[in-house]
Amino acid sequence: MIIYIAVFVYFTGFISNALSQGEYSELELMKSYHDYELLESFYNYDKNGVPVNYPFQLEFSFLDVKNYVRFYLYNKNDHNDRIELKINDTSPLRLPQYWKPGAPVKIFIHGYVGNSTVPQMEMLKNKLLERNEGLNVIALDYGPLAHKLYPIAAHYSEDVGKIGSQLIDFLIENGAKTTDFHVIGLSLGAHIAGFVGYNVKSGKIARVTALDAPTIGFIIVGKHGRVDKDDAEFVDCIHTCSGTASFMEHMCHADFYPNGGKSPQPGCGTGVTAMGCSHVRSQDYFTESAEKGHLFYALTCQELTKDGPNDCVDEGALMGYPADQKLQGIFYVETGSKYPFSNTHTTV
């Protein structure tokens, strides 16, 4: 267990550098976990079976999660402009440059050690807005919580998701429909996206997209303790580091396994750092798929083995943004090693 967590710490350090362009070094992230002894104390019990105390224990009981979560609604005309959207405050919904009644709503959620303004989240936001479809684009930002120790961030992921579901219920009360909503989450944000969808009281939302949902902290919790096909009318998952950092299981309506779904993904090199690169590739692929003319054609497969999808045929399925909820099951996708990653890209 300790070795596995240590590998995850190293790999999240790589992600942190990739997402924040050097804002957080691997050494700084390692220091934030203190040392292996502290990690071990998190899982150990004394001779009487009582959990061993640890310095951050109180944070599991007393964090007021709503203080760590913000929502931002983006300007359709100026993609660098956004306004904070608060539950029960309808004033932003009366500003046409930010909110278009009746339009589809895309909510994106960052991963661990991230926030809504790291480069890859900015790129996703821009690709969504550049489609010129009048989309309502919202960021769910839990950045301060995402920079706490991973066990704490994972522990509170369901609470973050429930706050997200409250926002959706609020928007539905003010004219939106459940069919308008598509929630997209990367890494830890993938599970949060599932919790958002599952806890909406107004009905089942249209879609949840989970980008390489991690296993650590979510292996033994059951389907309602992680992202699952029950979370929306259509749940699609993209697996790019499965079997190590993320789930290999077929747990969504449509599970896509680019290049077999494992690390290293093409262009990610080898070794431990390849895990971080492969993990983030899930968002690279999805973001590109939102670009018009960049299609990721997928093969429909009959079974999922320990080596990946098997017995696959072409039935016209697409991975990512344009995925068709009528086509469900297990899918294999081949990608390039650098942008454009898509296997069919044209200028539209």
Other beta carbons within 10 angstroms of residue 26's beta carbon come to 17
Other beta carbons within 10 angstroms of residue 258's beta carbon come to 29
Cβ proximity of 279 and 11 under 8 Å: yes
The mean pLDDT of 140-150, rounded to a whole number, is 96
What is the model's pLDDT at position 206? 99
Lowest mean pLDDT among 177-181, 183-187, 244-248: 244-248
User: Does the structure show a pLDDT above 80 at 290?
Assistant: yes
User: Does the structure show a pLDDT above 80 at 245?
Assistant: yes
In the chain, % helix, strand, coil (3-state, to 5) comes to 35, 20, 45
Helices (H), 181-320: 188-198, 273-289
Topology (CATH) of 66-345:
Rossmann fold (3.40.50)
What is the model's pLDDT at position 345? 62
Confidence of residue 223 (pLDDT cuts 50, 70, 90): confident
Instruction: Tell me how far apart the alpha carbons of residues 311 and 138 are, in angstroms, rounded to a whole number.
Output: 39
Q: Which residues are catalytic?
A: 187, 212, 279
What is the model's pLDDT at position 59? 57
User: Does the structure show a pLDDT above 90 at 324?
Assistant: yes
Instruction: Tell me how far apart the alpha carbons of residues 319 and 199 are, in angstroms, rounded to a whole number.
Output: 26
**β-sheet bridge partners, residue 256:** 238, 331
CA nearest neighbour of 229 among 207, 248, 259, 256: 207
What is the model's pLDDT at position 147? 95
Tell me the pairing of strands 105-109 and 181-186: parallel
* Structure-block tokens of residue 121: 């989240």
pTM of the entire predicted model? 0.85
Q: Strand, helix or coil at 277?
A: helix
**β-sheet bridge partners, residue 140:** 71, 109
Q: Each residue of 19-49: pLDDT tens digit? A: 444 333 333 333 333 333 333 334 444 555 5
Query: Residue ranges of the domains in the chain?
Result: 1-55, 66-345
Instruction: Tell me how far apart the alpha carbons of residues 201 and 228 are, in angstroms, rounded to a whole number.
Output: 17
Full DSSP string of 100-169: -TTS-EEEEE--TT--TTSHHHHHHHHHHHHT-S--EEEEEE-HHHHTS-HHHHHHTHHHHHHHHHHHHH
Full DSSP string of 8-58: HHHHHHHHHHHHHTTSS-HHHHHHHT--HHHHHHHH-B-TTSPBPP-TTTT
Q: Strand, helix or coil at 198?
A: helix
* DSSP one-letter code for 205: -
Q: Which long-range contacts (CB under 8 A, 24 or more apart) does 335-340 make?
A: 335/258, 335/259, 335/265, 335/266, 335/281, 335/285, 335/296, 336/266, 336/267, 337/266, 337/267, 338/267, 339/284, 339/288, 340/288, 340/294
Confidence of residue 5 (pLDDT cuts 50, 70, 90): very low
297 burial type by CB count under 10 A (0-12 exposed, 13-18 middle, 19+ buried): middle
Q: What is the CA radius of gyration of the chain?
A: 20
For the ranges 11-25, 39-53, 284-298, the one whose mean pLDDT is highest? 284-298
